[in-house]
């Protein structure tokens, strides 16, 4: 499943690297306004995925259930609040993916894996001259913890058996989530 997800979302990832506003953190050109918008948009999407997974928790294997949290949403909330924005002003979005085990795992794959890029982004944030917030709760934190969590997520998926149809379902949902970024 994980190799299939990686392969079948490689093009979407490439697009994200080229077009996601986070690229302006990497080239250090990001403005305060672009950064603020990036965090608010991320909040919208991460919250939608974390909430969707939580609402349909019972469909997921126990090991995946144990990993569910609102951790990314909370860290984004913290960063936004320290820039003076309340997340209550950010409208919810609905996810158009089926509430099945495979589809939710596909969506979680995107948000869990995204923290690997997040670690790289955190290092560049410090060099963004136009930003007042040079340390981020969302992108920052302890890299070992992100790596450990990603490994735990991958282990919990590897332990499961999926039919070919489920693998396709997970890929479809992962690509839908990628497009939201």
- Shortest separation between residue 92's beta carbon and ligand HEM, angstroms: 18
Compare residues 60 and 125 and give the one whose CB is closer to ligand HEM.
125
Cβ closer to ligand HEM: 45 or 80? 45
Q: Which is nearer to ligand HEM, 60 or 122 (CB)?
A: 122
State in angstroms the smallest separation of the CB of 2 from ligand HEM: 6
User: Toward ligand HEM, which CB reaches closer, 49 or 60?
Assistant: 49
C-alpha 19/C-alpha 163 separation (Å) is 33
CB of 60 to ligand HEM, least distance (A): 18
Q: Rule CB under 6 A: which residues touch ligand HEM?
A: 6, 13, 16-17, 20, 22-23, 26, 109-110, 113-114, 116-117, 120, 178, 181
Q: How far is the CB of 63 from ligand HEM (least distance, A)?
A: 18
> Could you write out the three-class secondary structure of the chain?
CHHHHHHHCHHHHHHHHHHCCCHHHHCCCCCHHHHHHHHHHHHHHHHHHHHHHHHCHHHCCHHHHHHCCCHHHHHHHHHHHHCCCCHHHCCCCCCCCCCCHHHHHHHHHHHHHHHHHHHHHHHHHCCCCCCCCCCCCCCCCCHHHHHHHHHHHHHHHHCCCCCHHHHHHHHHHHHHHHHHC
Closest to ligand HEM by CB, 98 vs 143, is 143
Q: Tell me how far, at minimum, the Cβ of 115 lies from ligand HEM, in Å.
A: 8
What is the spatial distance between Cα 108 and Cα 169, in angstroms, rounded to a whole number?
13
């Amino acid at each position: 499943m994980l190799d299939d997800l990686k392969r079948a979302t490689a093009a979407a990832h490439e697009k994200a690297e080229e077009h996601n506003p986070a690229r302006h953190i990497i080239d250090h050109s990001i403005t305060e306004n672009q950064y603020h918008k990036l965090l608010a948009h991320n909040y919208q999407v991460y919250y939608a995925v974390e909430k969707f997974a939580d609402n349909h928790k019972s469909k997921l294997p126990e090991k995946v259930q144990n990993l569910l949290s609102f951790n990314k949403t909370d860290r984004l909330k913290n960063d936004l609040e320290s820039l003076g924005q309340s997340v209550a002003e950010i409208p919810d979005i609905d996810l158009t993916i089926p509430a099945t085990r495979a589809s939710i795992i596909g969506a979680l794959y995107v948000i869990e894996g995204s923290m690997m890029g997040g670690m790289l982004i955190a290092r560049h944030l410090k060099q963004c001259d136009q930003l007042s917030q040079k340390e981020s709760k969302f992108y920052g934190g302890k890299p070992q913890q992100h790596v450990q969590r990603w490994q735990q997520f991958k282990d919990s998926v590897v332990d499961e058996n999926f039919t070919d149809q489920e693998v396709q379902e997970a890929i479809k949902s992962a690509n839908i989530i990628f497009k939201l970024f």
